[in-house]
């Protein structure tokens, strides 16, 4: 095996953050535990990319202190590398995720929220399933998936039914944002990133629609969203409903 291949991470995990000081440290520890903790049979070589939109609450400073990052905002622990990127331009969730995906070096790529909605313990399973699939989605709307917030679960379920009706797809959770994807497959779409990665979580609707129409092999695995541990959510239902609906209608009328 060449030096290049031996140093390439198996997995890159992209964590977009904005005002997640109270969650990000515990989440990174939980990812380390899931991927190389006690009882892990096949530890992965991985990198974590914290893509912070210059959070005013000191998210980046906490990561630097807690994980003893060097002057280049990098730290290494065995086969794990942690990289912090503080973003001062083109802020926003979709842009932050795109930036992380384009910086990532892993053969497989994982994107997840940083408020513990998405369970780090699922990462090894999702990555392993990429041996058979191009894209694995953490889904609330398959058997054993769900949400602790029952009212929001029902509204999200109805909205996903609306999306499936409009675009005639069979993807159950178009709003999850928790996914693992083969790098080679994703980069086949790189010329279309400008038409996918903008706005907020609506980028995921566009990404999934493009993957579906490109006939990717897609699998949904169950996830259960717990309530946020710390801090206030950046998403309030009605503004997000309005913005996503505008994005979906635009997508239906004008395409990708």
The domain that contains 131 carries what CATH number?
A: 3.90.550.10
| Letter string b/e over residues 46-69, b meaning 16 or more CB atoms within 10 A of that residue's CB | bbbbbbbbebeeebbebbbeebeb
For residue 85, the SS3 value is strand
Residue 37: the pLDDT is 77
| Tens-binned pLDDT, residue by residue, of the chain (256 aa) | 334 445 789 999 999 999 999 999 999 999 999 998 766 777 889 999 999 999 999 999 999 999 999 999 999 988 999 999 999 999 999 999 999 999 999 999 999 999 999 999 999 999 999 999 999 999 999 999 999 999 999 999 999 999 999 999 999 999 999 999 999 999 999 999 999 999 999 999 999 999 999 999 999 999 999 886 655 555 566 788 888 999 999 999 988 7
Residue 9: the pLDDT is 94
The owner of tokens 């990561």 is 63
Q: How many domains does the chain have?
A: 1
Its domain, for residue 221, covers: 3-254
Q: Which of 254, 117, 229, 123 is nearest to 180 (CA)?
A: 123
Ordered DSSP codes for 141-157: SSTT-EES-HHHHHHHH
Asked if 240 and 200 touch (Cβ cutoff 8 Å), the reply is yes
Q: Give the predicted TM-score (pTM) of the model.
A: 0.92
For residue 26, the SS3 value is helix
Residue 40: the pLDDT is 72
Interatomic CA distance for residues 169 and 158, integer angstroms: 15
Asked if 8 and 106 touch (Cβ cutoff 8 Å), the reply is yes
């Amino acid at each position: 095996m060449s030096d290049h291949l031996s140093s390439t991470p198996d997995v890159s995990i992209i964590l977009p953050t904005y005002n997640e000081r109270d969650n990000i440290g515990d989440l990174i520890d939980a990812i380390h535990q899931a991927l190389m903790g006690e009882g892990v049979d096949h530890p992965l070589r991985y990198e974590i990319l914290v893509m912070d939109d210059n959070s005013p609450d000191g998210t980046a400073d906490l990561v630097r202190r807690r994980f003893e990052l060097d002057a280049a905002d990098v730290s290494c622990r065995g086969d794990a590398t942690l990289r912090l990127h503080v973003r001062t331009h083109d802020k926003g969730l979709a842009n932050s995720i795109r930036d992380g995906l384009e910086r990532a070096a892993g053969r497989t790529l994982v994107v997840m929220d940083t408020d513990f909605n998405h369970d780090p313990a699922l990462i090894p399973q999702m990555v392993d399933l990429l041996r058979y699939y191009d894209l694995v989605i953490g889904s609330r709307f398959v058997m054993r998936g769900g949400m602790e917030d029952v009212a929001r679960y029902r509204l999200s379920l109805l909205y996903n039914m609306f999306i499936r009706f409009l675009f005639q797809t069979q993807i159950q959770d178009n709003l999850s944002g928790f996914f693992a994807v083969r790098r080679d497959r994703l980069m086949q779409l790189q010329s279309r990133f400008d038409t996918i990665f903008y706005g907020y979580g609506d980028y995921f609707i566009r990404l999934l629609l493009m993957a579906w129409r490109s006939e990717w092999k897609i699998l949904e695995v169950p996830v259960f969203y717990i309530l946020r541990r710390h801090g206030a959510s950046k998403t309030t239902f009605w503004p997000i409903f309005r913005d996503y609906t505008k994005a979906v209608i635009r997508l239906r009328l004008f395409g990708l």
